[in-house]
């Protein structure tokens, strides 16, 4: 059973930066999907930045974070990071890390049917 532990959340003023980290408890080399999702109260969960290794590999960013957020993986690919710059109040949410093996890129990007999730870390951006 893979366990994911997120860290790096917190409170920041608009325009500030935070870096989220997610570490898997065991090797996830068989997983081809790993990334960050967020849930804003009253809204559906959305993919924020996700790496998909199937079909040659690709990276997804939500339109709202393009140019501001950057996803990266550690050398062993057991860790994934999210560098968040130019934060806005609308980025306030609980951020989750997730990973799994999936044959569908759209499932990876949306988080649908992913089985391994972290506990979430709160990010609060004040204006």
Q: Is the pLDDT of residue 56 over 80?
A: no
CA distance 101 to 62: 21
What is the pLDDT confidence band of residue 54, given thresholds at 50, 70 and 90?
low
pLDDT for 110-127, tens place per residue?
999 999 999 999 999 999
Task: Give the Cα-Cα-Cα angle 59, 116, 105 (nearest 5 degrees).
Answer: 30
């Amino acid at each position: 059973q893979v366990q994911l532990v997120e860290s790096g959340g917190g409170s920041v003023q608009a325009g500030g930066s935070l870096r989220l980290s997610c570490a898997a408890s065991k090797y996830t080399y068989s997983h081809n999907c790993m990334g960050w999702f967020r849930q804003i109260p009253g809204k559906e969960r959305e993919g924020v930045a996700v790496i998909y290794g199937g079909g040659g590999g690709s990276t997804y960013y939500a339109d709202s974070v393009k140019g501001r957020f950057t996803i990266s993986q550690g050398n062993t690919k057991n860790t994934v990071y999210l560098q968040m710059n130019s934060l806005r109040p609308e980025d306030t949410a609980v951020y989750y890390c997730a990973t799994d093996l999936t044959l569908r890129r759209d499932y990876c990007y949306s988080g649908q049917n992913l089985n391994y999730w972290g506990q979430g870390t709160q990010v609060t951006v004040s204006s």
